[in-house]
Amino acid sequence: MFTRAMLTLCILIGLALPQAWGEELRTFSFLPQWLPQAQFAGYYMAYEKGFYKKNGINLMIMRGGPEHPPTETIAQNRVNFTTMFLSSAIKLRDQGVRLVNIGQIVQRSGFILVTKKTSGIGSPADLRGKKVSLWTDFRLQPQAFFRKYGVEVKPVYQGATMNLFLRGGVAAASAMWYNEYHALLNSGLNEDELRPFFFDQHGLNFPEDGIYCLEETFRRDADLCRRFVRASLEGWEYAFANPEESLDVVMRYIRKANVGANRVHQKWMLARMRDIILPPGNNTALGRLKREDYLRVAGEMKGSGLIKEIPPYGEIYADCTSRK
């Protein structure tokens, strides 16, 4: 007989109830969209704290980065779950890859254009005719921003560093608030010397990191997909509640991958991830994709000629946030 004492013992030694009752763990793979950093702290903590195993998942976290782009990896069915920007997923779906968003993690866009106050650029109109560095894969928001204010700029290719901006080669540069913006501060610039344009403050909030799988994966293993999202959300909640412990784990992943990074930068990144995952005043539950956000991004993409048709919201998104 399974007595109360035996149940207590199982809890004390960390056995999740599904395993205690003999349920076998299912193996799934997960690819973060970039190299190890605090941008993915929630997933690392969900793994380290056993949240995936508690939900019946034996998770393999693959190494992300430029050598393993999530769009190609998921399209070729070489991974079960991955993260990517909503705009990237919509474009992939338009190309025929049947992707499903099962968890929208980032609710507020962290994408910005940044200028130096000494440039004299105080408003979007002041960008007219200026050199602005843009990333090849992330031009949608900046282009929508320029169209909204009727300005034409001189686009310049932006690489992996902010050196061109720092050396005065461009008047404005692309940056993620949680990453490149802090790199500028670390270079010696003060925040009061910079003027960032946050796209979400200009009616252009394009949600970024979401969790995706193929439609066939969701249809075959819908319950396991929900468990994966449930564990991931718990991981993010734990990471924000225990930042120092989470930074210890993030730095361990970074060292193991031989990635050059420091704890100060990762601390900034984790704090900013909280700002954009749980933005003040946002009543949307963690993990849900708002219809209006989706239609805003998809509509802009169709208007820009990046996609032919807008995929129906009910086909590209499956709400897996239930804690039941």
Domains 27-108+207-316 and 111-202 belong to one CATH topology: yes
Range 64-77 average pLDDT:
92
Contacts 24+ apart (CB under 8 A), 92-95: 93/311, 93/316, 94/301, 94/306, 94/307, 94/308, 94/309, 94/311
Class of domain 27-108+207-316 as given by CATH: alpha beta
Residue 119 has pLDDT above 90, yes or no: yes
277-298 tens-digit pLDDT: 999 888 888 999 999 999 999 9
Q: Where are the domains of the chain?
A: 27-108+207-316, 111-202
Four-point Cα dihedral 103, 106, 107, 111, nearest 10: -140
Give the pair of three-digit tokens for residue 306.
């990046």
Confidence check: pLDDT of 5 > 60:
no
Angle, CA 315 vertex, CA 274 and CA 217 arms, to 5°: 80
* Cβ neighbours around 253 below 10 Å, total: 23
Beginning with the edge strand found earlier in the chain, give each strand of the sheet holding 57-61 in spatial order.
Answer: 57-61, 26-31, 81-84, 210-214, 99-104
Cα 301 to its chain centre, rounded Å, is 19
In the predicted model, what is the mean pLDDT of residues 91-118? 96
- Give yes or no for residue 7 having a pLDDT over 80: no
pTM of the model: 0.90
Given phi > 0 = left and psi -120 to 50 = alpha, else beta, which region is 244?
A: alpha
pLDDT at residue number 124: 97
Residues 308, 102, 38: CA angle, nearest 5 degrees: 105
Q: pLDDT tens digit string along 193-223?
A: 999 999 999 999 999 999 999 999 999 999 9
pLDDT given for residue 8 in this prediction? 32
pLDDT of 15 reads 34
The phi, psi pair for 289, rounded to 5°, reads -100, 115
- pLDDT at position 260, please? 86
Could you tell me what percent of the chain has a pLDDT over 70? 92
> In whole angstroms, how large is the CA radius of gyration of the chain?
21
Rounded to 5 degrees, φ, ψ at 157 are -65, 135
Which CATH fold topology does 111-202 show? D-Maltodextrin-Binding Protein; domain 2 (3.40.190)
Task: Examine the pLDDT at 23 and tell me if it is beyond 90.
Answer: no
Per-residue pLDDT at 101 exceeds 60: yes
- Tokens, residue 243: 């930042």
